[in-house]
Amino acid sequence: MQCGCYGTGRPYGPGDIYVWRSYHMIFKATRIAVTSAIFGASALAASAQGYTPENAECIAPANPGGGWDFTCRQVGRSLQEQGILDHTMQVVNLAGGGGGVAFAEVVNKRSDENDLIVAASAATATRLAQGAYPGNTMDEVRWLAAIGADYGVVAVAADSDIADLPALLDMIKNDPTSVSVAGGSAVGGWDHLKVLIAADAYGVEDVRTVKYIAFDGGGEAVTQLLAGSVQAFTGDISEAKGFVDSGDIRVLAILSPERLEGEFADFPTAVEQGVDAIGANWRGFYAPGDMSDEAYDVWVSKIADLYASDEWKDIMAANGLAPLDLQGAAFEEFVSGSVEQIQQISKDIGIIK
């Protein structure tokens, strides 16, 4: 089957399948969110009375500096600044296993805690889809809400000789052993998939030859890039932004369908460089599986109030987050669909059988 993706006219490959599904899923989710907001807001407000978080805690399943850490700290600070939370939210970094250590901790030891939420993303769905959290499934926790979508990037150190994304991919195509790419998710995880999608779109025959090195969070991956241990970094715009601002790294490509606005306008897309790769990483939260219905409704309501605020819209714009307005049942449906789709994508490119 031929396609007209960006005018290439070439057959669909696994990367193309992902591009379409990823982009379609974000916009489908937005439509779901509108319906959910109209019909669910009054019922949610009525059921969310009585419970108040007293010792709010957010687990970031990676070391400081990555996207999960950003999600916990920025949301926690914003909830307090806007008076949505009365107390400071404690942020605990619990790295390991691409989020698996934190997931197991919540499921096995903290399943009934009402004051606890956990940062999640497309990386979480990816690991669940691939069975990388041994013995665990998405149904063992409760999915709260999304707070936006974060486009992927491929970057190098600021002083790197690699000029653009095609130059990097040419190096990989000609000699895969010459390039190591670092990311903040485990092997087979979301950061890994992003560089595989780009490599597939560029014509790398066997994307499994791409040399990917996993670290516990984007911050650690960038540290290794700056130390010269690896040649490139794959992550998300929110975790890369601080290192771009400090002059440490240079973005070769952002995996968005078109250039972002404002301070991100200088980042070239993969598409405009002839690499048909798009990758949007949703960001949000899950809660312990045995959290009470009352506490669950309160957390969903608080995150929804934050998302609707003008202050959060400004934060999204400043950090390159795209809109993704999903709460409660609509968010759970979205995550379930995401897990199913990533399972198929992972089979398509040989990550799982």
Task: Report the range of poorest mean pLDDT among 53-67, 185-199, 289-303.
Answer: 185-199
Last residue within a domain, chosen from 273, 307, 331 = 273
pLDDT at position 342: 86
Q: Is residue 137 in some structural domain?
A: yes
140 and 287: one domain?
Answer: yes
Q: Residue 13 pLDDT > 50, yes or no?
A: no
254 and 290: one domain?
Answer: no
pLDDT at position 29: 52
CB count within 10 Å of CB 206 equals 11
Contacts (Cβ under 8 Å, ≥6 apart) of 18: 193, 197, 279, 345, 348
The whole model's pTM is what?
Answer: 0.76
Taking CA 136 as the corner, what is the angle to CA 131 and CA 141, rounded to the nearest 5 degrees?
125
pLDDT at position 32: 46
State pLDDT tens for residues 143-157.
999 999 999 999 999
**Residue whose pair of structure tokens reads 């040399």 in the numeric block:** 211
Range of the domain at 223: 151-273
Q: What is the DSSP string of 5-35?
A: GGG--PBP-HHHHHHHHHHHHHHHHHHHHHH
Q: Residue 28 pLDDT > 90, yes or no?
A: no
**Average of per-residue pLDDT across 250-265:** 92
Q: CA-CA distance, 268 to 255, in Å (whole number)?
A: 9
pLDDT at position 19: 41
258 and 290: one domain?
Answer: no
Strand partners, 284: 120, 146
Q: Residue 337 pLDDT > 60, yes or no?
A: yes
Q: How confident is the model at residue 26 (pLDDT cuts 50, 70, 90)?
A: low
Contact 68, 281 (CB under 8 A): no
Q: Is residue 333 in some structural domain?
A: yes
pLDDT at position 8: 33
Taking CA 284 as the corner, what is the angle to CA 281 and CA 285, rounded to the nearest 5 degrees?
140
Q: Is residue 107 in some structural domain?
A: yes
Q: Is residue 3 in some structural domain?
A: no
**CB-count burial class (<10 Å; 0-12, 13-18, 19+) for 262:** exposed
Last residue within a domain, chosen from 231, 247, 273 = 273
**CB-count burial class (<10 Å; 0-12, 13-18, 19+) for 265:** exposed
Task: Report the range of poorest mean pLDDT among 15-29, 70-84, 164-178.
Answer: 15-29
Q: CA-CA distance, 235 to 207, in Å (whole number)?
A: 18
pLDDT at position 353: 84
CATH number at residue 218: 3.40.190.10
20 and 135: one domain?
Answer: yes
322 and 235: one domain?
Answer: no
Q: Residue 193 pLDDT > 60, yes or no?
A: yes
pLDDT at position 23: 42
Phi/psi of residue 27, each to 5°? -75, -35
State pLDDT tens for residues 267-321.
999 999 999 998 889 999 999 999 999 999 999 999 999 999 999 999 999 988 9
Q: CA-CA distance, 133 to 161, in Å (whole number)?
A: 38
Q: If you count DSSP H runs as helices and E runs as strands, how many of each does the chain have, helices first?
A: 11, 10
Contact 155, 240 (CB under 8 A): yes
Q: How confident is the model at residue 58 (pLDDT cuts 50, 70, 90)?
A: very high
pLDDT at position 105: 97
Query: How many independent structural domains does the chain possess?
Result: 2
Q: Is residue 6 in some structural domain?
A: no
179 and 119: one domain?
Answer: no
136 and 161: one domain?
Answer: no
Q: Is residue 311 in some structural domain?
A: yes
pLDDT at position 178: 95
Q: CA-CA distance, 151 to 82, in Å (whole number)?
A: 26
Q: Residue 50 pLDDT > 70, yes or no?
A: yes
Q: Residue 212 pLDDT > 50, yes or no?
A: yes
Distances (CA, A) of 167 to 88, 156, 333: 46, 12, 39
% the chain with pLDDT above 90: 70
pLDDT at position 121: 94
* Orientation angle between helical segments 310-319 and 237-245, nearest 10 degrees: 70
**Average of per-residue pLDDT across 13-19:** 40
* Orientation angle between helical segments 237-245 and 67-81, nearest 10 degrees: 90
Q: Is residue 138 in some structural domain?
A: yes
State pLDDT tens for residues 65-113.
888 999 999 999 999 999 999 999 999 999 999 899 999 999 999 999 9
Contact 218, 240 (CB under 8 A): yes
Average pLDDT, the chain: 87
Q: Residue 16 pLDDT > 50, yes or no?
A: no
Q: In 3D, which of 291, 302, 286 has the Cα closest to residue 110?
A: 291
pLDDT at position 168: 98
37 and 133: one domain?
Answer: yes
137 and 191: one domain?
Answer: no
The dihedral through the CA atoms of 219, 224, 228, 231 has a sign that is: negative
Task: Report the range of poorest mean pLDDT among 29-38, 112-121, 325-334.
Answer: 29-38
222 and 258: one domain?
Answer: yes
**If residue 232 lies in a helix (H) or strand (E), which one and from where to where?**
strand 232-236
pLDDT at position 188: 83
CATH number at residue 333: 3.40.190.150
Q: How confident is the model at residue 186 (pLDDT cuts 50, 70, 90)?
A: confident
Last residue within a domain, chosen from 239, 273, 307 = 273
Strand partners, 148: 283
88, two tokens: 């400071």
